[in-house]
Structure formats: C-alpha cells, structure tokens
Amino acid sequence: MNVTERVIVVTGAGSGIGRSITTALLDAGHHVVLTGRTRDALDQTAYGHDHALVVPADVSSPKSVHSVFAAVAERFGRLDVLVNNAGTFGPSGAVDEIEPQDWDRTVATNLTGVFLCSREAVRMMKTQTPRGGRIINNGSLSAHTPRPASVAYTATKHAVSGLTKSIALDGRDHDICCTQIDIGNADTAMTAGIGHAARQADGSVRAEPTFDPRYVADAVTRLVELPLDVTVPTMTIMASRMPFVGRG
C-alpha cells in the first residue's frame, strides 16, 4: 500500500453526507471500509471503486461494531482514520413530548455509536506500528444552538462535542487526533424539508438555503490527508445565508 493511502472507516456510508465523503475518499485513492445498516445502499456507494470494502453493521451494537474493526485488522492490519458519520434526527418535540424509547434510539445511534466505534479505533491506533490515527466526528450546528423541537438530537450532538474533546485529550500522547466537523444545511434527504419550510425560533416558518455536500467531502478529505502532527479540533461548514449566527 502506498504511504499516501489511508485505511479509513466511514459509518453511515450508504447515503447522504456519508456517501459523499466515502466517494471523495475513494476517488482520492484511499482504502475505505463502508459500514451502515443496509448492504444495498453501501454497495451502491462502493460501486466501481476497487478500494472499497463493504461491512454492514449497526453502530449501536458493540458486537456488530467489533466485527467491522476485526475485518479492518484482518484485511489491512491497521486503521488510519475513522469518520463517525452515522446519525439520525430522531423524534421531533420538546422534552415533555418525547417517548423514552425514541430518546433511547437517538442516543444509541448518535452518541453510543460514536463511542463504540471510537473505542475500537483507539484500541487499534494505540497498538499499531506506526501508531496513531485520526478520528473525525460529524457533529452539527445543533451541537452549539438547537432548532425548535429537537431536544433528543440536540442533546446527543452536545454530548458528541464532549466526547470529541475527551478523545482528543486522551489520544494526544498516542498520536491520535480528533476533530468535530459541524455541518449546517448540507443538501441531503435528511434535510430535504429545510429547503422548503423550516420552523424558526420565533415561531415563523421559512425556507433555508442549503449547500452541496461535496464541499463537506472535500473538507473531510483535506483533514484525512493532514500529518498527525497537525490537528483541527473543530470545523464549521454551512450554507452561508442560513440563519445560524444569531439563531434564537
């Protein structure tokens, strides 16, 4: 394997931002392990790319997550980058309107999934030669400021911020870098309604601008290719005219 090629795991690689990131990394010549719940969607992302390895998994399951990283170790013998992208918006509602089981499902995917994947990745990165690696967590502008009726999603994304900082701190002595990329209004199926009508903090409803997720993919590719003596703790990328600054 060429020294400029990275071995990368991308979660949620079957659609949306995950598909854009994966395609960009494969086009750049990296080896990408695609994971997510739906094999057909993963196969569609991987189609035509020789450096793709599809390993379906549920990021909320410790056993399932372990199987992904076991496959990485068997195939490549190392891991350079983990992109924790899998996520769900979860239920819409205020705190008194959310059912506990819906809360639990959102936490399982958005937070526990990041923990489980990072746990496996860090274990590999600490012991491989050369040691170290990079973890990139997909946060959100909701890690800073919530949208109305998004309590479950917002809480998990705030928690990802703390997890990112802790991984960065604890990984420092092991040459492990950790970045959170906060994305606002990338044009995907998950955000399709925002371009037509989005509820605002003042109670009004109006369309918000979106942007092509390939720019997120470009940013992630740049991060992936940085040397490990350089880190970017946080990055925000968003549609420039969306109502974020001053939101609320």
Topology given in CATH for the domain delimited by 7-238: Rossmann fold (3.40.50)
Mean pLDDT across 105-116: 98
Check: CB of residue 197 under 8 Å from CB of residue 206. Answer: yes
Q: Two tokens at 239?
A: 């549609």
pLDDT at 108 over 70: yes
Quote the CA–CA distance of 21 and 144 in Å, as a whole number.
23
The predicted pLDDT at position 226 comes to 97
Mean pLDDT, rounded, for 160-187? 97
Q: Which H helix or E strand runs over 160?
A: helix 151-171
Token pair listed for 71: 């496959």
Instruction: List the domain boundaries for the chain.
Output: 7-238
| Stated pTM of the model | 0.94
Distance in angstroms (rounded) separating the CA atoms of residues 189 and 137: 20
Which H or E run contains 236? strand 234-238
Closest CA to 81 of 164, 172, 163, 178: 178
User: pLDDT, tens digit, for every residue of 201-239?
Assistant: 888 888 888 999 999 999 999 999 999 999 999 999 999
User: What is the tens place of the pLDDT at every residue in 156-168?
Assistant: 999 999 999 999 9
Q: Please identify every residue annotated as catalytic.
A: 153
pLDDT band at 243 (very low <50, low <70, confident <90, very high): confident
Q: What is the pLDDT of residues 40-78, one digit of tens each?
A: 999 999 999 999 999 999 999 999 999 999 999 999 999
Q: What is the Cα–Cα distance from 72 to 234, expressed in whole angstroms?
A: 27
Q: What is the pLDDT of residue 201?
A: 80
Q: What is the pLDDT of residues 25-35, one digit of tens each?
A: 999 999 999 99
Give the Cα separation of 58 and 120 in Å (integer): 14
Instruction: Find the range with the poorest average confidence among 101-115, 189-203, 231-245.
Output: 189-203
